[in-house]
Amino acid sequence: MFSNIGVPGLILILIVALVIFGPNKLPEVGRAFGRSIREFKKATEGIADDIKEEIIEDIQESKQTTINLKK
């Protein structure tokens, strides 16, 4: 998503943010944005881990079923 912005676009975004929020509020907004991104990453990693665990459980269950059918 951010790979297509480039340096001029990034400078424009920073100037607009500086005008909107002012120099005193900008670091606070940046910290809040960083925290939000961090929480989003944690949530998506948690969901991915849950899905992986379910897949592993399903594979183990199907292997056990296959072993039982062969007997």
Residue 26: partners with Cβ closer than 8 Å, 6 or more residues away = 17, 18
Its pTM surpasses 0.75: no
pLDDT the model gives residue 70: 73
pLDDT at 41: 93
Question: And the tokens for 52?
Answer: 């992986």
pLDDT of the chain, 71 residues: tens digit per residue? 556 778 888 889 888 988 888 888 888 888 998 999 999 999 999 999 999 999 999 999 988 887 777 76
